[in-house]
Amino acid sequence: MSRPVLVRREEVLRGGQPLSFAIGLVVALTIGIVLLLGAGHDPVAIYERMFVAALGDPDSWSVTLNRAVPLGLAGLAVAIAGSMGLWNIGAEGQILAGAMMAAGVARIGEGWPGPVLVTAILVGGVVGGSLWALGPAVARSQIGVNEILTTLMLNEVALRLVQWLIHGPWKDPDSFNFPLAPMIPDHGRLPTLFGRAHVGVIVALVVIVLFAVAVNRTAWGFELRVAGSSGATARYAGISLERKTATVLVMAGGVAGLAGGIELAGTADRLTEGVSNGFGYAGIIVAALALMRPSGVAAVAVLFGAVQIGGQSIQTMGVSSSVSTILQALILFGAIGAGVLSRYRVRMVPGDPGGDGIQVGASA
């Protein structure tokens, strides 16, 4: 009798993460085929439709890129905090807060010229998201309140605040009593680049590149990573953890808030409950797949954007768009599983299988 044992590799496999990612994608698509067959659909036709709708021509690329914007910025908001070993689970709420503030700016600035209004809306988004992260940031840095739980709770609070605004104070008087906020003025919308792609795509890319450089190539980023790997080392090196923790969380909130501003002025055109349609949570998966590295979030975000846009397109074929939700989660689970194999190898050792099945971490 022999049993499988996971043994830690001396060196992590090179190129392991892109490989894990690819394996995750294959695993997800395979399980997707089983689900689609189970419901009597034709998986090939459905995947083909998803691919064409998301990446088939420049027009579909423009929609996919637009969707990649909030996913990438939310992923960045998680990854910036993650570089320091902090968990920002609050991107969803920060996006909503950014959208609320941006919508408020759009209400005030109706008479402003286009470029001023658009800029003000985006800045409003950043401010709104930062403010939403300020509470958890201060609580964490000053009295050590766990940021996972505070940022998570504030997501639900932000959602209800949006609901309250559009049911109450900001309800459009011309909406026939439907809970709808008024449209933002036309000249406040983001200019388009090609197809339906708006300038938010460029803004997001610039922000992602800036943060990737800041985290990887500057002294500030180095301190951040040192603090993330060992608080004691950071303190010894004279890095103020309290201050850094607070700044990083507020910055992360600002980045997510920017996504809220972009969504408001780029695609939603009015404040709605769905202005962040789970982007904040999907962003956590995006960041995890990018191993919390700001440099990796853009590529993952485009792929997730494609999966989401593809998922919307199959509704006309009578298939639930939840297929794309399922695929996104499965990509992550598949990639985690594959990632383990880049850090461990499976070795068969003689012996009784025993009660534990696969044993993790048994020494070689």
Partner 1 sequence: MNEASLVGLCAATVSFGALLYLAALGEMVSEKAGILNLGVEGMMAMGAVTGFMTALEFGNPWLALAVAVAVGALTALLHGWFTVVLGAEQVVSGLSLTILGLGLAAYLGKNAVGRPPGAVLAPVEWPVLSDIRWLGPVLFQQSPMVYLSVLAGVVVWFVLSRTRTGLALRAAGESASTADAAGHSVVGLRLTAVAVGGGLAGASGAYLTLSVIPQWAEGITAGRGWIAVALVIFGAWKPGRVALGALLFGGTLALKTRLQTFGVDFSPILLSMLPYLLTIGVLVVISIRARNRPSPAPASLGIAYRREER
Positions that interact with partner 1 (CB under 8 A)? 8, 35, 39, 87, 89, 135, 139, 143-146, 148-150, 152-157, 159-161, 163-164, 167-168, 278, 281-282, 284-285, 288, 320, 322-326, 328-330, 332-333, 336-337, 340, 355-356, 358, 360-363
* Minimum gap (Å) between residue 182 Cβ and partner 1: 19
Task: Supply the minimum distance, in Å, between the C-beta of residue 136 and partner 1.
Answer: 9
Residue closer to partner 1, measured from CB, 137 or 190 = 137
Decide: residue 305, CB within 10 A, 0-12 exposed, 13-18 middle, 19+ buried: buried
Instruction: Compare residues 58 and 274 and give the one whose CB is closer to partner 1.
Output: 274
Nearer to partner 1, 47 or 333 (CB): 333
Gap between the Cα atoms of 267 and 67, Å rounded: 9
**Nearer residue to partner 1 within complex by CB, 147 or 223:** 147
Alpha carbons 224 and 339: distance in angstroms, whole number: 25
Nearest-approach distance from CB 250 to partner 1, in angstroms: 17
Least distance from partner 1 to the Cβ atom of residue 132, Å: 13
Find all residues with CB under 8 Å of 154, minimum gap 6, and list them.
Answer: 90, 93, 132, 135, 136
Secondary structure class of 332 (helix, strand, coil): helix
- The answer to whether residues 146 and 140 touch, using CB atoms and an 8 Å cutoff, is yes
Q: Are 297 and 168 in contact (CB under 8 A)?
A: no
Nearer to partner 1, 6 or 183 (CB): 6
- Residue 185 or 278: the one with the smaller Cβ distance to partner 1 is 278
Please state the closest distance from residue 284 (CB atom) to partner 1, in A. 5
CB 235 within 8 A of CB 241: yes
Kindly state the smallest distance separating residue 333's Cβ from partner 1, in Å.
6
Stated length of the chain: 364
Q: Which is nearer to partner 1, 218 or 321 (CB)?
A: 321
Helices (H), the chain: 16-38, 43-55, 58-83, 91-108, 114-143, 147-167, 200-217, 219-229, 231-236, 241-263, 279-289, 297-313, 322-343
Say how far apart CA 335 and CA 341 lie, in whole Å: 10
CB of 323 to partner 1, least distance (A): 7
3-class secondary structure, 353: coil
Q: How far is the CB of 191 from partner 1 (least distance, A)?
A: 33
Nearer to partner 1, 108 or 360 (CB): 360
Tokens of 189: 């919308």
